[in-house]
Structure 1
Amino acid sequence: MTTSDALRYTRIPLNNGSGAIPAVGFGTLIPDPVATKQATKAALEVGFRHLDCAERYRNEAAVGEAMQEAFKAGTLRREEVFVTTKLWNTNHRPERVKPAFDASLRRLQLDYLDCYLIHTPFAFQPGDEQDPRNQQGRVIYDSGVTLVETWHALERLVDDGHCKSICLSDITLEKLREIVAAARIKPAVVQVESHPYLPEWELLDFCREHGIVLLAFAALGHAMEPRLVDDPVITAIAQRVHKTPAQVALAWAVQRGTAFLTTSTKPQRIRENFEISAIPEDAMREIRNHITTNVRFNTVVETGVPGFIPRAK
């Protein structure tokens, strides 16, 4: 392994002493379970050791099967893989948290989780319908529970010993401050949309101050317009360092101290997204100073409805 290639193996220590999160992560938001299993196996084979799952994706069982096959084949040990999954919005009431957590563990065929996230800070009407809507098609929220109450229920999961760290997702800096102030066990990770078009510097500074890892989803802009990988600053750097634009954007994410997630079902793209190398410091400065586009692709922070997950049929 050369020094520049070491970037892809970066691990960031967690603030609660429960280990370290691999900076290079694979997201499993893939609609088809068969494709999920194949992509997860491909990701593990090329070197990904961080899998990001969610109850809401409805494919935890497929991820679990892919992991179990690798464990049984002897190519991978459980302790080598950092596994995250998420509490969905309909399970925010404290009495629903542990049953939801246990159900995710069963589907993933694991006896502990490295990280359990609150998928969004928005509580939806509790029940089996993941996307509760009224007759006008608007989300039915649950005003009977606060985010702090949900957080305290997650803290009890850590006390029980089956959850190594607890985390937040799709959260604003204001809401994060509220949880940090009220928490007995601080968030270890905050997962938010972040990329060169949405660098979230203020949030990153707060996370650094409190030893929280910022984990970027949509790290390549989720192929939405304007396309991040077509940005002239990034494409010029890519040409100069003989890497793809995607590899440049992902290297930028790790070198500024964050972790990232990418998702693909294409083996070549999965390999490309793992095989990142360090970019020069002048390239890091160019991305920070010369990219002026500012765009958020996912409005989940305003609604609690993830923009990349299709509505339930």
Structure 2
Amino acid sequence: MASPDTLRYTKIPLAHGSGAIPAVGFGTLIPDLLATRQATRTALDVGFRHFDCAERYRNEEAVGDALQEALKAGTVRREDVFVTTKLWNTNHRPERVRPAFEASCRRLQLDHVDCYLIHTPFAFRPGDDQDPRDEHGQVIYDPGVTLIETWGALERLVDEGRCRSIGLSDITLEKLREIVAQARIMPAVVQIESHPYLPEWELLDFCREHGIVLLAFAALGHGLDPKVLDEPVITAIAQRVHKTPAQVLLAWAVQRGTAFLTTSVAPERIRENFELSSLPEDALREIRDGITTSVRFNAVIGSGVPGFIPRAS
């Protein structure tokens, strides 16, 4: 009898934090609060144990409600769930970091988070307006704080024990090198857009060299054109191994050593995105060598303005 495939249960130990991050993660960028709560509940039910949140998504309370429901029912234990959330751009000044972190913990109804990320390396004008703009519609940045100063405030959260690990999101390799060169506590996780159309091999190699976990968002291309789910190399492999194109893409992400995030509100899609099994080596080679399309779907890396979050009116 063949041994069961355990790819979906892969955990990556954190070299610069405590514990291990489940490679298979659920992203909570869902605009509707009721849908967020239901999708989080479904994800917990099918087996997801890694949840990625953010102050900027404005739905941490809904995620927290679903988590608390499962914890109180005894269907999951807190130590088995890995929760990440993120510091938004308007809170980069060091004196704003702890209040922002504590507010996220309150909304999530947790006494600690497993990983806290700087959402983007760009500081916006501090204040309650998450999307500060001038009269011409241009983002108002904050020149009064550096990324390393913000990083130092995150390091102090780790010192205090309420944050098990820290990291960065939407960052270039050049900026990551700067933080790694100056950090007292190294980044445990770096979250970036990555999929076969944007494999980020150089950044992945740097992360491996420094014991940093690469966490891929938009792992299925976020449904944008050109659709990576329709890539002929992927669809041919899917047909051959009797899996869906999504399952092929997500297995590839885990097998190359990264963690990933995927988001859906449809129960059947949530289940599909968890029920992964390993791809044969020749399929991995085909994906690496046979796909030549190169696309970045989210321009956040150049401006700090997430492309997948609609502006608040």
Answer yes or no: same fold by TM over 0.5.
yes
1:181 aligns with 2:174: no
How does the TM-score come out when normalised to structure 2? 0.99
Structure 2 Cα separation of the partners of residues 16 and 262 of structure 1: 24
Matches of 1:3 and 1:275, distance apart in 2: 16
Report the counterpart of residue 64 of structure 1 in structure 2. Answer: 64
Map 1:208-219 to 2 at 5 A: 208-219=208-219
SS of aligned partner of 1:174 = helix
TM-score relative to the length of structure 1: 0.99
Shift of 1:210: 0.2
User: What are the superposed Cα offsets for residues 110-129 of structure 1, whole Å, 9 maximum, x if unpaired?
Assistant: 00000000000000000000
Match of 1:240 in 2: 240
Counterpart contact for 1:4–1:277, Cα < 8 Å: no
Instruction: Name the structure 1 match of 2:54.
Output: 54
Amino acid of the residue matched to residue 70 of structure 1? A
Contact 2:125 2:142 in 1 (8 A): yes
Q: CA, structure 1 residues 117+71, in 2 after alignment: closer, same or farther (shift >3 Å)?
A: same
Segments of structure 1 that go 5 or more residues without pairing to the other structure are none
Query: What do residues 86-138 of structure 1 show as CA deviations (whole Å, max 9, x unaligned)?
Result: 00000000000000000000000000000000000000000000000000000
Partner of 1:269: 269
Counterpart for residue 95 of structure 1: 95
- Once the 2 structures are TM-superposed, how far is the Cα of residue 312 of structure 1 from its aligned partner? 1.1
CA distance in 1, matches of 2:175, 2:7: 31
SS of structure 1 residue aligned to 2:306: coil
CA distance in 1, matches of 2:17, 2:186: 11
Residues 129-144 of structure 1 mapped to structure 2, 5 A cutoff = 129-144=129-144
State, as a whole percentage, how many aligned pairs show the same letter: 80
Q: Is the 8 A contact 2:39 2:264 kept in 1?
A: yes
1:296 maps to 296
Partner of 1:199: helix, strand, or coil? coil
CA shift in 2, pair 1:146/1:174, >3 Å:
same
- How do 1:194-233 and structure 2 match up within 5 A? 194-233=194-233
**For 1:50 and 1:64, how far apart are their aligned partners in 2?**
13
Deviation of residue 5 (structure 1)?
Answer: 2.4
Alignment of 1:103-114 (within 5 A): 103-114=103-114
| CA–CA distance in structure 2, aligned partners of residues 60 and 168 of structure 1 | 19
Aligned residues: 313
Kindly report structure 1 stretches of 4+ aligned residues shifted beyond 3 Å. Answer: 1-4
**1:142-157 matched pairs, under 5 angstroms:** 142-157=142-157
Counterpart check, 1:115 vs 2:119: no
